[in-house]
């Protein structure tokens, strides 16, 4: 008789480009999302939770990485008898689903419609250090108004959000630009919509933050050597043709009025360019009226994020404090949020242009920034642990933990083998528990419990002499009815 072949065990590994999140990280993210939602709600935005799966048709052409299979999304075809089922995909952002939701429910929604959404998105991109295929986004959008007041409000809300979650004023800057101004620059160069080299110029401009003014100049003209020594062909413009683009990118002055004057010179007689400058002027005036100065939000033409996607103002939140990279070099933390006006996205469904503006916060990057600033606790606080001295008295211990929970205190009964008391304290230490509750037979007879301050005890054990142990006790005996009050007192002192 042939031997039955054993099924190989599956490998216990996280899929490439994904990661697992444990207690503290999940809690920190949840608390951050709650804080952000509070700001959005205060500004009058309503929550929306749309499906994590959309049809590929609904996601449309705004896909993030066309060099990857399925054009940057995780997609599959629904089974159908004739083999012609719909192609479905995990959402790659929260904006494309919003366009579908608004188009589908526009007759039932208020105009303008103000919504915020939070959740994971998935991108079928090549993973790398700090770059995952699943990550959290936190968006807020206003659909149905072309008023620059909506754009200014989004920028103000972004500044308020950063300060609310723990990024102090002076450590961030929201920078604002306008796609229409760039269109005016391209028009001044003679590159109208549909010109063959226009997309090449846009792609080159998008590299400004990486290669700088001289790098863009070289890429617009004859080309340049990159860091690896490879030669990158240029667009082929003359120095004179490239000059308006460089003037646009470097037009930031000491104040908003000077920046706008420089932009007017860069766009020349372009009508669309003048319109974009007027919009920036409106946004600046509205923000100034609300008390948002250039120390928080400023007009900066070097912001070139996603200029092929946006139709008007664009903005980016940059953290300005320095960190050390993996090689120990100082660098700025960089961008944690961005957005802008995208008036053409809903039109794909309705055939009519619907104005919209929004912002997206990269939650994981913002959490990393707060860790760098020391604004997040490195050690999470675990539950109070009620130890088990007598397994026949589990009902007593369960009564204690129920009282603690009823008082709003996180608590648990030790459920392992209670034979070795030392192991129970080791368990509490691994759980980062702040307090242990002890009631043996002797304590039960006398109607008392022992309450051990585990955090203070650990600190004293690290550095204190025997005399200091006596002066600063870390274990207390209290009447059984005083359990909750004493535990709360210790937790308050630890905070």
The mean pLDDT of 42-66, rounded to a whole number, is: 82
Average pLDDT of every residue of the chain: 88
Q: Please state, in angstroms and rounded to a whole number, the distance separating the CA atoms of residues 179 and 276.
A: 7
Residues in the chain: 495
DSSP 112: S
> Binning pLDDT at 50, 70 and 90, where does residue 66 land?
very low
Q: What are phi and psi of 392, to 5 degrees?
A: -80, -5
Looking at the predicted structure, is the pLDDT value of residue 213 above 90? no
Cβ atoms of 61 and 90 within 8 Å: the answer is no
- Each residue of 247-303: pLDDT tens digit? 888 898 888 899 999 999 989 889 999 999 999 999 999 999 999 999 999 999 988
3-state SS, residue 392: helix
Which of 293, 181, 193, 297 lies closest to 247, judged by CA?
Answer: 181
Per-residue model confidence (pLDDT) at position 64: 46
Both tokens assigned to 82? 């004739």
Per-residue model confidence (pLDDT) at position 69: 44
Q: Which domains does the chain have, with CATH numbers?
A: 16-146+345-380 (3.30.930.10), 169-342 (3.30.930.10), 384-494 (3.40.50.800)
- Each residue of 133-168: pLDDT tens digit? 999 999 999 999 999 999 999 999 999 999 999 999
- Each residue of 75-108: pLDDT tens digit? 888 877 666 778 889 999 999 999 999 999 999 9
The arrangement of strands across the sheet holding 448-453 comes to 411-413, 384-386, 435-438, 448-453, 475-479
Task: For the beta carbon of residue 424, count every other beta carbon within 10 angstroms.
Answer: 21
3-state SS, residue 180: helix
> Binning pLDDT at 50, 70 and 90, where does residue 61 land?
low
Is the peptide bond prior to 229 cis by the omega test (within 30 degrees of 0)?
no
Looking at the predicted structure, is the pLDDT value of residue 67 above 50? no
Looking at the predicted structure, is the pLDDT value of residue 13 above 90? yes
Both tokens assigned to 399? 């009564």
For residues 39 and 3, the model is more confident at 39
Residue 232's DSSP bridge partners are 224
- Each residue of 323-361: pLDDT tens digit? 766 666 777 788 899 999 998 889 889 999 999 999 999
Q: Please state, in angstroms and rounded to a whole number, the distance separating the CA atoms of residues 379 and 35.
A: 20
Per-residue model confidence (pLDDT) at position 215: 87
Looking at the predicted structure, is the pLDDT value of residue 192 above 50? yes
Both tokens assigned to 31? 């608390």
Per-residue model confidence (pLDDT) at position 466: 52
- Each residue of 357-400: pLDDT tens digit? 999 999 988 998 888 888 776 567 899 999 999 999 999 999 99
> Binning pLDDT at 50, 70 and 90, where does residue 195 land?
low
- Each residue of 463-490: pLDDT tens digit? 655 555 556 678 999 999 999 999 999 9
**Percent of the chain predicted with pLDDT > 70:** 91
Q: Please state, in angstroms and rounded to a whole number, the distance separating the CA atoms of residues 414 and 211.
A: 58
Per-residue model confidence (pLDDT) at position 424: 95
Residue 331's DSSP bridge partners are 323
């Amino acid at each position: 008789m042939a031997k039955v072949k054993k099924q190989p065990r599956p490998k216990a590994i996280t899929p490439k480009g994904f990661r697992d999140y444990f207690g503290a990280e999940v809690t920190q993210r949840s608390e951050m999302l709650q804080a952000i939602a509070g700001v959005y709600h205060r500004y009058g935005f309503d929550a929306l939770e749309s499906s994590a799966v959309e049809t590929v048709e609904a996601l449309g052409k705004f896909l993030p990485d066309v060099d990857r299979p399925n054009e940057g999304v995780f997609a599959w075809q629904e089974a159908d008898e004739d083999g012609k089922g719909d192609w479905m995909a995990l959402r790659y952002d929260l904006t494309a689903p919003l366009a579908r939701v608004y188009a589908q429910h526009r007759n039932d929604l208020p105009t303008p419609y103000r919504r915020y959404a939070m959740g994971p998105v998935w991108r079928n991109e090549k993973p790398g250090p700090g770059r995952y295929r699943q990550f959290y986004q936190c968006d807020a959008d206003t659909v149905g108004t072309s008023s620059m007041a909506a754009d200014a409000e989004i920028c103000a809300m972004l500044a308020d959000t950063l300060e609310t979650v723990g990024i102090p004023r002076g450590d961030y800057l929201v920078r604002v630009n306008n796609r229409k101004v760039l269109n005016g620059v391209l028009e001044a160069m003679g590159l109208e919509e549909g010109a063959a080299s226009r997309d090449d110029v846009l792609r080159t401009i998008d590299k400004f933050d990486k290669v700088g003014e001289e790098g863009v100049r070289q890429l617009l003209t004859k080309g340049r050597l990159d860091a690896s020594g490879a030669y990158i062909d240029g667009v082929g413009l003359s120095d004179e043709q490239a000059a308006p683009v460089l003037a646009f990118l470097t037009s930031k002055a000491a104040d908003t009025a000077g920046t706008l004057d420089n932009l007017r010179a860069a766009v020349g007689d372009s009508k669309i360019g003048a319109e974009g400058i007027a919009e920036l002027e409106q946004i600046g005036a509205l923000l100034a009226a609300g008390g948002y100065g250039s120390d928080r939000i400023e007009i900066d033409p070097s912001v070139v994020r996603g200029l092929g996607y946006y139709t008007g103002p664009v903005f980016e939140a940059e953290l300005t404090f320095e960190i050390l990279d993996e090689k120990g070099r100082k660098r700025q933390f960089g961008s944690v949020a961005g957005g802008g006006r995208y008036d053409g996205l809903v039109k794909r469904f309705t055939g009519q242009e619907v104005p919209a503006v929004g912002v997206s916060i990269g939650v994981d990057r913002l959490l990393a920034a707060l860790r760098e600033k020391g604004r997040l606790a490195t050690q999470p606080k675990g539950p109070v642990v009620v130890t088990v001295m007598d397994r026949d008295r589990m009902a007593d211990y369960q009564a204690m933990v129920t009282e603690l929970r009823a008082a709003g205190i996180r608590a648990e009964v030790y459920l392992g083998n209670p034979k070795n008391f030392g192991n129970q304290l080791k368990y509490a230490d691994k759980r980062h528990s702040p307090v242990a509750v002890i009631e043996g037979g002797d304590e039960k007879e006398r109607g008392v419990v022992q309450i051990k301050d585990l955090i203070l005890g650990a600190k004293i054990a690290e550095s204190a002499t025997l005399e200091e142990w006596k002066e600063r006790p870390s274990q207390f005996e209290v009447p059984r009815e005083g359990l909750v009050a004493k535990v709360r007192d210790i937790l308050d002192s630890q905070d």
